[in-house]
Chains A and B, each alone.
Chain A
């Protein structure tokens, strides 16, 4: 079963609106929570990431909110633009034998309408 649950599966937002994608996890050994952005035909690329000792991280229009007690984190895209249309994956990482063992959510396809 998926260790990181992501919702919604798809999201349509008007230009200028706020896009919100949510993720939940169970394993408290996770210590790093990135969000990846993927455009069609491309590999995922890191967008923004947070550690569990911080409740919020903001980079430009992108913000991660993190709730450690609820084991949930979310991505907020402010002033959404058509160029933000992509698939977004949340992920959670724990070290396993000196490796980044990353578990991904199922993805959210975001469409921003002009």
Chain B
């Protein structure tokens, strides 16, 4: 069991470029999440998906889009990257009414 995997591990973008962060889980979880982690801010929820085909906004969704491709995969897209989106991005998954969220190893994104 790989758990939650994320690609890429590191990425540098220029302002205005676009990219997609990929996330996959092999735990048969229904719910998946995207967070960003910034110093002094903890983790903040960007988007979540309760099940395949559904997505909802979290605390900080502006500038991002998501796709729940199937039960395993949940991608995060930056259409036009801005320096304010420099952060570490974590994907997580959980059972629908389960208590524990399982996190991936993160993607460190720098926008110049």
User: Which residues of A approach B to under 8 Å, CB–CB?
Assistant: 2, 4, 6, 9, 32, 34, 41-46, 49, 89, 93, 95, 97-107
Contact = CB atoms under 8 A, between A and B. Distances in A.
Interface of B: 4, 31, 33, 40-45, 48, 50, 56, 58-59, 90, 92, 94, 96-101, 103-106
A34 B90 CA distance: 17
5 contacts: A4-B42, A6-B42, A93-B99, A99-B96, A106-B40
Tell me if A's interface is mostly helix, strand, loop or mixed: strand
A9 B56 contact: no
Contact of A105 (B42, B56, B101, B106): B42
Contacts of A34: 99-100
Given A32-B99, A34-B99, A99-B50, A43 B104 contact: yes
A76 to B, nearest CB: 20
A97 B50 contact: yes
B99 A100 contact: yes
A9 B101 contact: no
Given A101-B45, A103-B45, 17 more contacts: A4-B42, A32-B99, A41-B105, A42-B106, A43-B90, A43-B104, A44-B43, A44-B90, A95-B97, A97-B50, A98-B50, A100-B94, A100-B98, A101-B48, A102-B33, A105-B42, A106-B42
